[in-house]
Amino acid sequence: MRTAVLASGRGSNLQALIDACGNGSLPIKIVCVGSDQPETVALKRADTAGIPTRVFHMSDYPDRQAQEEDILSWVRENRVELLLLAGYLKVLSPQFIRQVAFPILNIHPSLLPAFPGLHAQRQAVEYGVKVSGCTVHFVDEGLDSGPIILQQAVPVLAGDTEDTLAERILEMEHRLYPEAVRLVALGKVERIGRQVRILQ
Ligand code: GRF
């Protein structure tokens, strides 16, 4: 499955996906990696893995629509069949989502629908929940609102800060994202409206 990844920052989830492809546990081919930020660690990780990269920096476009049109041409040129958001900080517009015929997945560091949006781990600590976690979901036109593929709970411990919780959740993200992508790539994910069924 020809796969594109969009990432804005550190790219540790991208790295987990690259590593899973490398050790044969993830049957996809990451054919290109894009970022809305130049010079990110994510792009360096892709370079190191020999994956072609592209920067879609907002300052290079008159507006958001032009930037997304360029991303759309890029996925089409690369004959992409699956798009993975891995810490991509821009919300894709409904127009973009409607024009893409293949699945788009995202990973989010909370048990959705709790704590969508930015700083999910800070939201969890401030709210005082005892359990948080991570979610891999299909991207729809809302914010972190698409059908849920897999979730994994992570305890929130006494004395946790945003950073300590984020670190514990991230470790789980690195296992959950490749696993969810593997299920999608193997055709084991059936989507019926909001419900997602994992086929045996
Ligand atoms: C992760 O916590 C992911 O869940 C969220 O953004 C963060 C990206 O981290 N969407 P990294 O760039 O993959 O290290």
User: Tens-digit pLDDT profile for the chain (200 aa)?
Assistant: 999 999 999 999 999 999 999 999 999 999 999 999 999 999 999 999 999 999 999 999 999 999 999 999 999 999 999 999 999 999 999 999 999 999 999 999 999 999 999 999 999 999 999 999 999 999 999 999 999 999 999 999 999 999 999 999 999 999 999 999 999 999 999 999 999 999 98
pTM score of the predicted model: 0.97
- Looking at the structure, do residues 94 and 130 belong to the same domain, yes or no? no
Ligand 1 centre and the CA of 91: distance in Å? 14
Q: Could you give the C-alpha distances from 102 to 2, 96, 120, in angstroms and in order?
A: 11, 12, 27
Q: How many domains does the chain have?
A: 2
- Looking at the structure, do residues 79 and 117 belong to the same domain, yes or no? no
Side chain identity, residue 132: S
Q: Give the separation between CA 158 and CA 111, rounded to whole angstroms.
A: 19
- Residue at a domain's end among 85, 102, 119: 102
**80: domain range?**
1-102
Contact (Cβ atoms closer than 8 angstroms) between residue 32 and residue 74? yes
Nearest CA to ligand 1 atom 7: 87
